[in-house]
Structure 1
Amino acid sequence: MSRTQSTILWIYAVVIAIWPIRYVVLKYIFSRLQFLTPDSPTLDPTDPPLVSAIIPAKDEEASLADCLASVSAQKYPRMEILVVDDRSTDRTLEIAREFAARDPRIQVVHNDHLEPGWTGKTYVLQKLADQARGDWLWFLDADTDHRPEFLGVMMEYARSNKAEMASLLPELRCETFWEQVIQPLGGIVLMQSFPVQRVNDDRSKLAFANGQSILISRRAYDAAGGHAAVRDRFVEDIGMAYKVKNLGMPIRVAMTKGLVSCRMYATLGQLVRGWSRILYDAHDRKTWRLVVKLLDPIIFCQSGHVVLLIALVLLATGSPGPFPAWLLGLSLVHHALMYAVFRVIYNASVPRSRYTHWFPVGNIVSDLILIRAIQMCLTGRVTWRGTSYGPIAAPAADASGSPAQG
């Protein structure tokens, strides 16, 4: 074996060595995560504060009925429900009005325009927040489905942690092949950038919230400037979390089991467009940060697939010496270790996932998502849910509080 071949094997062995470390770290992180369930403590029903549930909906006819049914069925005793139809072209408005006719707590607002300088979601959220009467505002997405205990558990979680803002991470409902393969990988990219333990540490500047389920006190919302303060953000949830935490107000994030679920995107196209938009804005629209994120899977994941292919070609063509066999052996070890790590990731997002062995395909699509997010950084243009935005500048530091500061 030549000196060059030995050097290649040693470098590749170093790349492989990162995977046992990742496995141990992931298992440790997941073991420390707090999970809220329907059996978690709920807020004492004696004189509970009024909560305003705020639901933005644009072309959500497939999920809005289930969402409204689950929100209406909450055991929490004092709640109003505000739904805004944001320029929908389907039956969203009709469905919302049908529920409002049966439940006097539900108010329906129709929005037919978008003010310049706002994203569609931030504009309608601010519009509903201005009308809300609650001491607490519960922002949720129309594709979420909640157990009746949800709001009581969330309120108690905020109270017991003295949090002015709390966000619970739903379980993912993944029904198609592409959802099963891609969704867990999008989630782990966010977890790497926003570790829950650091987010929940009041001494850390790092902040995060998930717009699928956010509970925030009216006091904190107004002090942070409302959604007007993050009007141009596509991840307004993270922007708002930074605003609140920068005011010295505690925020908390927790995982859930059996308490709330969400189906984010149904098709491959929606997954690519949705996750590229999220990662673009979550990383402050900065090209270099997304390039770093892209280099990780290329160096530590895709290298294994390339090496395996090279080893097989060398063996098939009768290349002399032990180098091809060593290369093949290391590649098989690499794939086994990657599988172990991705099994932890997939099972955390989709319990008993049957799609872990498809992680190489998921990695390739994830690379394409990151490349698309980088393209957004370079052009400053984003198209989402039928609306085109851009060119868009990077968010101000006080609005996002770059995760690099955490």
Structure 2
Amino acid sequence: MTVLGLILLALAALPFALVLMNLATLRATPRRAPQGDVLVSILIPARNEATNIGAALAAAQGSVGVPVEILVMDDGSTDGTAEIVRAHAARDARVRLLTAPPLEEGWTGKVHACHHLAKAAKGTHLLFVDADVRLSPHAAAQLAGHAQDAQAGLVSAVPRQVTRSVGELLTVPTINLLLLGYLPMGFMRLSRDPGLGAACGQLMLAEREAYRLSGGHAAIRSRIHDGIQLARLFRRRGFMTDLVPGEDLASCRMYTRFGEAWNGFAKNAHEGMATPVALPVWTVLLLGGHVLPFVLLPFVPTLPVLAAALLSLAARTAVTVATRENPWSIPLHPFTILVGLAIQWSVLLRIGTARRAGWKGRLYPVEAKP
């Protein structure tokens, strides 16, 4: 039991140490205003987003510090999305409504819409934003300024995640924990290794020429998880990518119900950790570092097990405070990890039955990838 306790302590200490180092790295990120002739194209793919698109447009229209244009791609909506965008466009010439062409064979929906948004954009920088994201006034300017300062082809940030229901608290907080607890951001900024590439598809800014030379969304046309895929693509093409703190740049409420959150995370899990090679490793890291210490502590109250539990909670607390997430994610932390792993394993098993991933009424083939 002593050996097991030490193993759990090591598994909890790793993300704790990385959280501290990554937060220090992110806090030291300079904020620069964009220089020269810069135009940021804010690009919003929208499919049945009538409840979101008005607020998203109002936030984008409040952008300051850099000229912007705002393009919305209506991707086959059957609600009032297009009418809302037209109303905004009538009041603000910076807003344009586009209609997505029919989805082509071999493409996924959001990637297809983003590709056509980029083709229509006039900006020097392309800011891809989901319809449920609310930009802060300085977001476009700061992201463009950082891209220039860091000479990065792609800059991304995780918006402040708004979670209100228990179902959201059991799913959404895994995003920041995984990024801050398992991605060495100091090394990421020193290397163009594709394996260190990461981005959040909710909020990504690409320098136009780097986007063109890398192939952009057309090069990942069959993929769903555009955040990870674009970051790795840019790095394979020789362009640096970066992550910056996002809690002051934007906010996002991804889901409102547990079932919606489960399906949302499941749709792109097979392009992340839900692979036959990666998932067993992630299961050991996450179960050992964040769940087993709490399970074993009442039965094996040794110092290593107690320390592992405390380090796991400390890591969760530091991430929650730094990213301004709901503090109720802290006591629910072990359960959130269990739910996250359950989603990943359900997707891996589903891959074996050749079922398909779906989102917003579309279904896509799912293939297991090593």
Does TM-score exceed 0.5, indicating one fold? Answer: yes
Range that drifts further, 293-302 or 57-66: 293-302
Range that drifts further, 13-22 or 251-260: 13-22
3-state SS of 2:172 partner = helix
3-state SS of 1:137 partner = strand
- The alpha-carbon deviation at position 218 of structure 1 amounts to 2.1
RMSD of aligned alpha carbons: 2.6
Gaps of 5+ in 1: 1-8, 312-326, 396-406
- The reply to whether residue 281 of structure 1 matches residue 271 of structure 2 is yes
Q: Which of these two proteins has the greater Rg computed from alpha carbons?
A: 1
Contact 1:185-1:366 at 8 Å conserved across structures: yes
In structure 1, what is the equivalent of residue 130 of structure 2? Answer: 141
- The reply to whether residue 223 of structure 1 matches residue 242 of structure 2 is no
- The alpha-carbon deviation at position 197 of structure 1 amounts to 2.6
Judging changes above 3 Å, is the alpha-carbon distance between structure 1 residues 190 and 274 closer, same or farther for their aligned structure 2 residues?
A: farther
Judging changes above 3 Å, is the alpha-carbon distance between structure 1 residues 197 and 379 closer, same or farther for their aligned structure 2 residues?
A: farther
What is the 5 A alignment of 1:3-402? 9-18=1-10, 19-20=12-13, 22-34=15-27, 40-44=31-35, 48-111=37-100, 113-192=102-181, 194-205=183-194, 206-283=196-273, 286-308=275-297, 311=299, 327-329=300-302, 334-351=308-325, 353-380=327-354, 381-392=356-367, 394=369
Cα distance in 1 for partners of 2:214, 2:117 equals 16
In structure 2, what is the equivalent of residue 6 of structure 1? Answer: none
- The alpha-carbon deviation at position 275 of structure 1 amounts to 1.9
Judging changes above 3 Å, is the alpha-carbon distance between structure 1 residues 207 and 214 closer, same or farther for their aligned structure 2 residues?
A: same
Judging changes above 3 Å, is the alpha-carbon distance between structure 1 residues 203 and 392 closer, same or farther for their aligned structure 2 residues?
A: closer
Judging changes above 3 Å, is the alpha-carbon distance between structure 1 residues 379 and 336 closer, same or farther for their aligned structure 2 residues?
A: same
Amino acid at match of 2:277: W
Judging changes above 3 Å, is the alpha-carbon distance between structure 1 residues 215 and 85 closer, same or farther for their aligned structure 2 residues?
A: same
* Deviations, residues 330-372 of structure 1 (Å, cap 9, x unaligned): 6655544433333223333435713411223212211211212
Percent of pairs with identical residues: 27
Amino acid at match of 2:357: V
Cα distance in 2 for partners of 1:258, 1:306 equals 36
How many residues end up aligned between the 2 structures?
Answer: 366
In structure 2, what is the equivalent of residue 401 of structure 1? Answer: none
- The alpha-carbon deviation at position 186 of structure 1 amounts to 3.3
Range that drifts further, 94-103 or 235-244: 235-244
- The alpha-carbon deviation at position 117 of structure 1 amounts to 0.6
Contact 2:65-2:141 at 8 Å conserved across structures: yes
TM normalised by structure 2 equals 0.88
3-state SS of 1:33 partner = helix
Cα distance in 1 for partners of 2:353, 2:176 equals 25
* Deviations, residues 271-307 of structure 1 (Å, cap 9, x unaligned): 2122233332134x63221222123233344433443
3-state SS of 1:357 partner = coil
Contact 1:163-1:250 at 8 Å conserved across structures: yes
Contact 1:57-1:64 at 8 Å conserved across structures: yes
Range that drifts further, 333-342 or 176-185: 333-342
Judging changes above 3 Å, is the alpha-carbon distance between structure 1 residues 158 and 12 closer, same or farther for their aligned structure 2 residues?
A: same
Contact 2:111-2:223 at 8 Å conserved across structures: yes
* Deviations, residues 196-236 of structure 1 (Å, cap 9, x unaligned): 33332235342222222222122111111221110011112
* Deviations, residues 133-191 of structure 1 (Å, cap 9, x unaligned): 22222211111111212211111111111222222332212222332343222332244
3-state SS of 2:328 partner = coil
3-state SS of 1:214 partner = strand
TM normalised by structure 1 equals 0.81
Judging changes above 3 Å, is the alpha-carbon distance between structure 1 residues 302 and 258 closer, same or farther for their aligned structure 2 residues?
A: closer
Judging changes above 3 Å, is the alpha-carbon distance between structure 1 residues 234 and 241 closer, same or farther for their aligned structure 2 residues?
A: same
Contact 2:262-2:343 at 8 Å conserved across structures: yes
